Amino acid sequence: MIPMPAKKKVPTKATAPKSVTKPAVVKKEKEEDGEQKSGKTFDLLRGFRDILSDDQGRWNLIRDTVRSMAEAYSFDRIELPILERSELFNRTIGKGTDIVEKEMYTFTDPSNRSVSLRPEATASAARAYISHGMLDRPQPVKMWYTGPMFRHDRPQAGRYRQFYQAGFESFGVNEPIVDAQLIVIGYQILRELGLDVKVQINSIGTTECRQAYLAELVAYFRQHRNKLSDEDKRRLQKNPLRILDSKEEVTRELLEGAPQILDWLDDKSKEHFMKVLEFLEEVEVPFVLNPYLVRGLDYYTHTVFEFVLADDEGAKAQVALGGGGRYDGLVELLGGRPETPGCGFALGIERISRALEAKGINPPERPQPQVFFAQLGDAARRIGLQLFEDFRQAKIPVAEAFGKNALKAQLDVANKLGVQFTLILGQKEVLDETIIIRDMESGAQEIVDVKKVVGLVKKKLRHEEGVDPIMQSPVEVA
RNA sequence: GUGCCUAUGGUGUAACGGUUAGCACAUGAGUUUGUGGUACUCGUAGCGAGGGUUCGACUCCCUCUAGGCACCCCA
C-alpha cells in the first residue's frame, strides 16, 4: 500500500462557479435508479443477516455434530442447488400452502423461466433421487444436506428470510424402522448438543384416509361454525387440517369433541404408526403423541414429527427446532417410480443456535493462539512472515498486531489476547539471528536461535498443558 | 400479510422543543529512545431515512426502513 497523506483539507477553489441546479439533478437521477445515495451505507435486506464470529462457534458445533451423526449412520452428503424451477415446489409443497402462495422468492430468470429460491430441500433431494437414477442403488438411499433456504416471511426471533437447515432424507424403504431411525438421529443430534428435547409425533395416514377424515372434521366444525373465529373459518375453507393447531380457546374446546385422525387411519397406516412408536420406546426417545400435529407441506403422509425443547413444552409460542415426516407420494409426484417411499427431517440451525445460546453454550470459533509475534522494523517483518509459515506447519496458531509499531502497543495486545508466550524480533535479533521468547506470566525472557524457535515453543507449550492442545485438528466446517 | 412496541457513536446507555448531544466500555495516538496488565492526556466516532408542525425538532406528527412481540405460518 502506498502511504496516503493524512487527511488534508481540500483547498476550496474560491473561483469555482457555483452550480446550484446541477448537483440536485444528479442526485435525483440516482434516486430514480433506486440506488442508495452515495455516502450512505447499505442496509441489510429485511430478514437477512450476517453471521459473525460471535455465532460461528455454535454454528461449527452444530455442523460438526450433524456431520458426525450423518457419517455414523451412513448418510451421504449431497449438495443441492439453491435455485430450482418453481414448479418443483408448487407441485410438492402444495399450491395452496403459505410457503408457495406467499413466501417463495419466485422470479423469471433471463431465459424466461419461472425459478424459485428453495424454501426447503426435500423436494430437491427427491428430484435428485429421480434424475440420477438412484432407485437402481441399494435401497434405502440416504442423503443429508445443509445450506440456506429462503422464505419471504415476516421476520421474528429465530425466523429469518434466509435461514439454514440441515436435513436427512431416506428414499426407497417404507419400513417403520426408517421413520424411527430418522427420529433417533434428529433427537440424538440435539441431545449431543446439550439440548433437552421431546419428539411430538402424529400420523396423518395416507391421502385417502386423510380425505375421509377431513370430510368428517369439516362436517363437525360446520355445526359449530358460528362459534369459530374468522381465522378458523378461513382455515376450515382453505386447509381444514390446520384447524387442529389453532390457538383459539373456543376451537381448542371444540377439538376435544372432534373426530381424531388416528381413528380414521386404515389398518396398515395404524400398524405402521404403532411400530414407529414401539421402536421409539425401545430406544428411549421421549415422545408425546400429539393428535393435533399437522405439518404445512402437502407431501407428508403417515408419520409426522417435530423436535421441541422440553422446557418449552407448556409455552404458548413453542418453536420447533426441526421437523419432518414420511412422504411416500413425493417421488411419484415428481415423475419417479410410483409408490417410492421416503422419509426425512430437517433441523433449523438458527433455532438450535438460539437454544444453545439461551443455555449459555458458546464454544470459541477456533482455538485461541497461545503465541504472539511482536516485530520491530522491516527486516523483522520479513523474517516474521516466514516464521508464521513455519509455525503454521507446526500447527501452532500465532497472533500478531501488524497495525502497531511500538513494542509496548504490541505487548499490550498480546496481553489482552492472553497468550502464554510472545516472540520478540527486533533489529538486534535480526542481526544476531536470534529471537526473544517472553513468558507472559512470569515476564522471564530468553534469547534463542531463530531457527530453533518453533521447536522450542512447541516444547514449552506441551510442557505447560500436559496434553498437546495444538495438535487438535482445526474445527471442520460442514 | 395483520396488529402492538421500539430505534441516540462499534457496544451499552443519558438528556432536552433552543446546550459544543453527556457517560461507560471498546477503538486510535501518546505520557522521550525496544518490553504488557494500573494510571493519565489527547483523538476518531452518534440522534435509522425522508417529509411535515414550529421562529427553532434528536425531542411532537406522518411515511418508509429495520428490530422485537403476538397472530398467520414455519425451521
| CATH code of the domain in which A297 resides | 3.30.930.10
Q: Kindly state the cell numbers that stand for A125.
A: 433431494
A33 part of a folded domain:
no
Is A335 a domain residue? yes
Measured CA to C1', the nucleotide nearest A427 is B34
Mean pLDDT of A374-382: 90
Q: What is the pLDDT of residues A306-355, one digit of tens each?
A: 999 987 555 555 678 999 999 999 999 999 999 999 999 999 999 999 99
A122 assigned binding-site residue: yes
Measured CA to CA, the distance from residue A414 to residue A424 in angstroms comes to 11
A339 with A456, same domain: the answer is no
Judgement on whether residues A171 and A145 belong to the same structural domain of the protein: yes
Residue A363 inside a domain? The answer is no
pLDDT digits (tens, 9 = 90+) for A385-408: 999 999 999 999 999 998 888 899
- Determine what percent of chain A is predicted with pLDDT higher than 90: 61
Q: Is A120 annotated as a binding residue?
A: yes
Residue A441 CA distance to nucleotide B24 C1' (Å): 29
- In angstroms, the Cα distances linking A10 to A13, A15, A38, A124, A373 are 9, 14, 19, 57, 39
| Domain boundary, last residue among A296, A325, A358 | A358
C-alpha A196/C-alpha A187 separation (Å) is: 9
Rounded-to-integer distance, Cα A59 and Cα A127, Å: 28
Q: What is the span of the domain harbouring residue A420?
A: 371-465
In this structure, the answer to whether residues A291 and A385 fall within a common structural domain is: no
Q: Do residues A353 and A376 share a domain?
A: no
Confirm or deny that A292 is annotated as ligand binding.
no
Evaluate whether A206 touches A302 at the Cβ level (below 8 Å).
Answer: yes
A145 pLDDT more than 70:
yes
Stated in angstroms, how far is A194 CA from B23 C1'?
40
pTM (predicted TM-score): 0.86
What is the structure's pLDDT at A108? 94
Mean pLDDT of chain A: 86
- Please check whether residues A352 and A377 belong to one and the same domain: no
Is A56 annotated among the ligand-binding residues?
no
More confident call, A199 vs A405: A199
| A345, A198: one domain | yes
CA–C1' A192–B32 (A): 58
| A351 and A390 share one domain | no
Sheet holding A398-400, edge to edge: A398-400, A371-375, A421-425, A434-439, A445-449
Nearest Cα neighbor of A285 from A358, A201, A351 is A201
Cell numbers for A86, please give them. 418453481
- For chain A, the distance separating the N- and C-terminal CA atoms, rounded to the nearest angstrom, is 36
Mean per-residue pLDDT, A302-307: 95
Q: Is residue A180 part of a domain?
A: yes
Q: Which helix (H) or strand (E) holds A158?
A: none
Check whether residue A277 and residue A158 sit in a common domain.
yes
pLDDT at res. A118: 96
> Which nucleotide minimizes the distance between its C1' and the CA of A435?
B34
Distance A305 CA to B45 C1' (A): 51
Q: What is the DSSP string of A75-139?
A: PEE----SEEEHHHHHHHH-TTSHIIIII--EEE-TTS-EEEE-S-SHHHHHHHHHHTTGGGSSS
What are the angstrom distances between the C-alpha of A75 and each of A20, A69, A145, A176, A304? 67, 9, 9, 18, 21
For residues A202 and A340, membership in a common domain is answered with: yes
> What CATH number should be reported for the domain holding residue A450?
3.40.50.800
pLDDT bin (cut points 50, 70, 90) of residue A377 is confident
Domain boundary among A311, A331, A358: A358
Residue A87 C-alpha cell reads as: 414448479
Say whether pLDDT at A20 is over 90.
no
pLDDT at A367: 87
Distances (CA, A) of A223 to A171, A234, A254, A257: 42, 15, 11, 12
Question: How far in angstroms lies nucleotide B61's C1' from the CA of residue A160?
Answer: 32
Which nucleotide minimizes the distance between its C1' and the CA of A410? B36
CB A388 within 8 A of CB A373: yes
pLDDT classification of A44: cutoffs 50, 70, 90 = confident
Residue with cell 415446489: A89
Nearest to A130 by CA among A119, A141, A144: A141
Does the annotation place A300 within a ligand binding site?
Answer: yes
Find the Å distance, CA of residue A394 to C1' of nucleotide B64: 55
Task: Read off the pLDDT of each residue in A200-226 and give the average, rounded to a whole number.
Answer: 90
| pLDDT, tens digit, 9 for 90 and up, residues A45-60 | 999 999 988 899 999 9
Work out whether the CA dihedral A230, A236, A238, A239 comes out positive or negative: positive
Of the pLDDT bands very low, low, confident and very high (cuts 50, 70, 90), residue A40 is low
Which pLDDT value is given to residue A466? 58
Q: Mean pLDDT over residues A426-449, rounded?
A: 93
A169 is in an annotated binding site: yes
Sheet holding A141-150, edge to edge: A76-77, A141-150, A162-171, A342-348, A320-326, A301-309, A197-203, A287-289
Which range, A31-40, A53-62, A123-132, is most confident?
A123-132
Q: What is the mean pLDDT of residues A87-91?
A: 95
Q: Which nucleotides of strand B lie under 7 Å from a protein CB?
A: 1-3, 27-30, 34-37, 65-75
Number of domains in chain A: 2
Give the three-state DSSP class for A305: strand
Among A93, A421, A12, A461, which residue's Cα sits nearest to residue A471?
A461
Do A310 and A390 reside in the same domain of the chain?
A: no
Per-residue pLDDT, A157: 86
Average confidence (pLDDT) over A144-159: 93
